[in-house]
Amino acid sequence: MIEGTKRAYNFNPGPAALPLEVLEQAQKEFVSYAGQGMSLLEMSHRSKTVERLNEETQELLLELLGIRAGYRVLFMGGGASMQFALVPTNLLAENKVGRYVLSGSFSEKALAEAKAVGAAEALASGKDSGWSRLPDLAGIAPKSDTAYVHITTNNTIEGSRFSTFPDLGTIPLVADMTSDILSRELDMKRFALIYAGAQKNLGPAGVTAVILRDDLLAQCSARSIPTIFNYAAYAQHRSLYNTPPVHAIYMMKLMLEWAKNQGGVTALEKRNAYKAALLYEVIDSSGGFYEGIVEKLFRSDMNVTWRMKDEEMEKRFVRESERNGFEGLAGHRSVGGLRASAYNAVTVEACKALADFMLDFEKRNG
Ligand SMILES: *Cc1c(COP(=O)(O)O)cnc(C)c1O
């Protein structure tokens, strides 16, 4: 611990908590990186040092995801939202349709952007339930003109997640994993393309990881699109086609090394399940004082959402939580309620403290 620095219990939805060890390492290396007499911020992206950093970070990400062969990593700017547009720009051929699983507001945004690029429509939707349930994808069979199926594996705003994924045969499955990448073990081979803005489970804002299967690249380069939007160009240049967000990539590398030291995804998943259970237990045993928004079967371990009696009570909860050292517990402005985002870097200690605070608040206000 840095002398005199008190860390908040940070439940921000994104940008989100980073491990203290990662921040301290970055601080140590900030002014002079790797004995070079200059900061990484001042270095050429064509230097050997940055080239190596770029390569090592890509390799480490594939290693942690367990897909070393047949996939590659691209580092891009523009956030996950830019991928809403770039997925159809690269993968949606003229006579084909992009089909979207709707499970929350980010998935709706992804579909809206695809419609601006070409033909796209919903394949299944959980909207009728107010996003408290996920659509059933078992046995789903998209038409043969489907360019790809897009799914949001974890719904950050609503607090739900998919646990099983459809087998689509040769149709590529594209996943927005921004809020759950590296948080749980998934059968990665199911996915043809995965993207994730870094600012939830991978590091700071500024870089987005796109992980795609090699065979998709042929499709990307077949289309006439600007180079700067083209996945194949990023792949060809190992993401050094133009200046990448070097410092954000460096922070991601520290974050990935940290994840590996924690025991990788297997260990992180176990800890994440334990952390979320601490909060869901308080919600479920409160006799309705706290009310979970999502049906139990679909609950997310990353984003725990709940409501209280009325907005007045919810506001009081947020106010008091802030006075007690908690950050980021107000629900998304579009849905209200409360949300605790407990990404990989959020400690068990922080979740225990929040569970205790919730019990105490209930005792005083229930
Ligand atoms: C946060 C988030 C986004 C938006 O990310 P930006 O990097 O801000 O564009 C998209 N999808 C999901 C699932 C998210 O959690």
State pLDDT tens for residues 19-74.
999 999 999 999 999 999 999 999 999 999 999 999 999 999 999 999 989 999 99
| Rounded distance between C-alpha atoms, residue 40 and residue 245, angstroms | 11
Q: Residue holding tokens 């725990």?
A: 304
Say if strands 9-10 and 326-327 run parallel, antiparallel, or are unpaired: parallel
Where does a domain end: 195, 227, 261? 261
Which protein residues are within 6 Å of ligand 1, measured from CB?
14, 79-81, 106, 152, 156, 176, 178-179, 197, 200
pLDDT in tens, 8-18: 999 999 999 99
- CATH number of the domain at 340, please: 3.90.1150.10
Cβ burial of 84 (10 Å; 0-12, 13-18, 19+) is buried
pLDDT in tens, 151-190: 999 999 999 999 999 999 999 999 999 999 999 999 999 9
Is residue 1 predicted with pLDDT exceeding 60? no
Indicate whether 303 and 180 sit together in one domain. no
Is residue 3 predicted with pLDDT exceeding 70? no
Is residue 223 predicted with pLDDT exceeding 90? no
Annotated binding site: 46, 80-81, 106, 156, 176, 199, 242-243
319: enclosing H helix or E strand = helix 311-323
pLDDT of amino acid 338 = 98
Q: Could you tell me the end-to-end alpha-carbon distance of the chain, in angstroms, rounded to an integer?
A: 37
Indicate whether 134 and 251 sit together in one domain. yes
pLDDT of amino acid 77 = 96
| Rounded distance between C-alpha atoms, residue 13 and residue 27, angstroms | 24
Indicate whether 105 and 238 sit together in one domain. yes
In the predicted model, what is the mean pLDDT of the chain? 95
pLDDT in tens, 302-314: 999 999 999 999 9
Is residue 2 predicted with pLDDT exceeding 80? no
Indicate whether 246 and 307 sit together in one domain. no
Indicate whether 125 and 140 sit together in one domain. yes
Ligand 1, closest atom to CA 208? 7
Residue 269 lies in a domain: yes
Where does a domain end: 243, 261, 279? 261
- Does a cis peptide bond (omega within 30 degrees of 0) precede residue 15? yes
Indicate whether 165 and 133 sit together in one domain. yes
Residue 195, φ and ψ in degrees, nearest 5:
-130, 155
Which domain, by its residues, includes 51? Answer: 24-261
Tokens of 131: 């996003």
AA identity, residue 319: R
Q: Whose CA is nearest to atom 12 of ligand 1?
A: 178
| Rounded distance between C-alpha atoms, residue 220 and residue 211, angstroms | 14
Where does a domain end: 245, 261, 277? 261
Is residue 199 predicted with pLDDT exceeding 60? yes
- 3-state secondary structure at position 112: helix
Tokens of 317: 């909860």
Indicate whether 145 and 257 sit together in one domain. yes
Is residue 229 predicted with pLDDT exceeding 90? yes
Residue 60 lies in a domain: yes
Annotated binding site for L-glutamate: 46
Model pTM greater than 0.85? yes
Is residue 121 predicted with pLDDT exceeding 90? yes
Indicate whether 349 and 287 sit together in one domain. yes
Indicate whether 154 and 248 sit together in one domain. yes
Over range 201-213, report the average pLDDT.
Answer: 97
- CATH number of the domain at 165, please: 3.40.640.10
Q: How far is CA 357 from the centre of its chain?
A: 27
